[in-house]
Amino acid sequence: MKRSALAVVGLSMLCRVGSAQVPESGRWQELSFGAAEVAERMEDRYLDQVVDLAAGGRLDDDRVLLARLQRIGAGLVRAAAALKPETAVWRWEFHTTSDAGVDAQCMAGGKILVGSAFVRKLALDDGELATLLAHEVAHAVAEHDRETLSEALYFNRQPKPPLEVLMERLATDLSLQIRLSALSNLQESEADQLGMVLAHRAGWPAAAMVGFYRKLAADDAASMLSGGHPAPASRLSMAKGMALLFGAPLGGAAVAQAQP
């Protein structure tokens, strides 16, 4: 999950520190860092990561998948902007990597990286891939990186440290990660639901979304299920419930894939 670059109308709102609400759910967040500051620091880390991958020949080495990501992602970005207008000026990026240690990730401001091995392992069609991407887009839209860093600051016993110091501690301090595990689980559940809303608004069928979570539940060894994610069966149940809210039937043959 990564970063933002703002302009004109959205600038003052994105830089403000204080309370905010997650789109759709309305959940309140306490944010101790400005969005622009978090976006800048996360972008630095993201650039380090992609430069390293590129140097090893592991960045965007699957051109077919990259084209799919960019095509599908464009529709999701439009849906995100309709839900949260300031995201329209973010510099969204979609990349793929053959690094087997990467499944899918997104940094503050819309920098998304998807592992080609993960996509092949689950044999994701376009609608299922859209659901995966929508989950990552949702993390950015909900500003989960910014919220996590703000919560980590609460547990810091020293005076407010520089943001980069706090980021390093968050990456290496297991005790801090454990303290933040409840928030992480909440954010993953939120990204599942908000992601389905974004995919629905982008025109993808609910059957494809349920299909994605069914594949995750069938392959519980998938790396995306580790860490702070809810249990696979719980995620599938959520997807079925959301599909019903969208008015989609769950029985019978899957709905034909849309091509937004």
* Residue spans per domain, the chain: 8-205
pLDDT score of 17: 59
Q: How far apart are CA 64 and CA 96, in angstroms?
A: 10
Alpha helices in 56-154 (DSSP H): 63-83, 116-122, 126-141, 144-154
pLDDT score of 4: 36
Would you write out the chain's pLDDT as a tens digit for each of its 260 residues? 333 332 322 333 334 457 789 999 899 998 999 999 998 999 999 999 999 999 999 999 999 999 999 999 999 999 999 999 999 999 999 999 999 999 999 998 899 999 999 999 999 999 999 999 999 999 999 999 999 999 998 887 667 888 888 999 998 999 999 999 999 999 999 999 999 999 999 999 999 999 999 999 998 655 444 457 888 899 999 999 999 999 876 654 344 444 56
Q: How far apart are CA 251 and CA 238, in angstroms?
A: 16
Strand arrangement of the beta sheet that strand 104-107 belongs to: 93-97, 111-115, 104-107
Residues with Cβ within 8 Å of 179's Cβ and at least 6 positions away in sequence, in order, are 155
pLDDT score of 144: 95
Position 204: which residue type? W
Residue 47 CA: distances (Å) to CA of 3, 4, 116: 11, 13, 19
How many helices (H) and strands (E) the chain has is answered by: 11, 5
pLDDT score of 159: 77
DSSP code, position 94: E
Q: How far apart are CA 212 and CA 66, in angstroms?
A: 19
Kindly report the pTM of this predicted structure. 0.86
Q: Please enumerate, as own/partner, the contacts of 116-122 that have beta carbons within 8 Å and a separation of 24 or more.
A: 116/61, 116/62, 116/65, 118/222, 118/223, 118/224, 119/65, 121/219, 121/222, 122/212, 122/215, 122/216, 122/219, 122/222
